[in-house]
Amino acid sequence: MPNVTIQASSIGTYPVACNWIGGSPILVGVTLGSTTMTTDFIIQYTLNDLQLSSNPTWFGVSSVSYPLNISTLPSTTVTAFHFSSAFADTPIVLNFEAPVGAVRLNSTAISSSFLRFQVLQGESW
């Protein structure tokens, strides 16, 4: 069960493998290191096990895959929500209630600070 915190200070992908067999919910959070930084990123998930798949299929969190309750997001269906510096005052928190193989932060822009990417998955009972 992951309890992982990654501090991303450069662009790239930051995957975290999850325990999909256990079936526990997964909580994902992203906070910005500074309210004056510039950033653009998406949060993705895969149904593949990262240890068993050499080429997992990644899906972007969108209004179709995850109904987010953030009033400033566009109301239309998009491929993946691009989170940006506009959300600096509000941490991004997602709850995956069904098991997934992994989640990842995919950043295309980070300047003047860092992104804190946190993944927490509990034990199954």
Which pLDDT does position 41 carry in this prediction? 92
Please tell me the pTM assigned to this model.
0.84
Classify burial at 18, counting beta carbons within 10 Å of its beta carbon; exposed 0-12, middle 13-18, buried 19 or more: buried
Strand arrangement, sheet containing 3-8: 3-8, 115-121, 26-32, 92-96
Which pLDDT does position 125 carry in this prediction? 64
Which pLDDT does position 73 carry in this prediction? 47
For the chain, domains (ranges, CATH) are 3-121 (2.60.120)
Tens of pLDDT, residues 19-31: 999 889 999 999 9
Per-residue pLDDT of the chain (125 residues; tens, 9 = 90+): 689 999 999 999 999 999 999 889 999 999 999 888 889 999 999 999 999 999 999 988 875 555 444 444 444 444 677 888 776 667 888 888 888 999 999 999 999 899 999 999 988 76
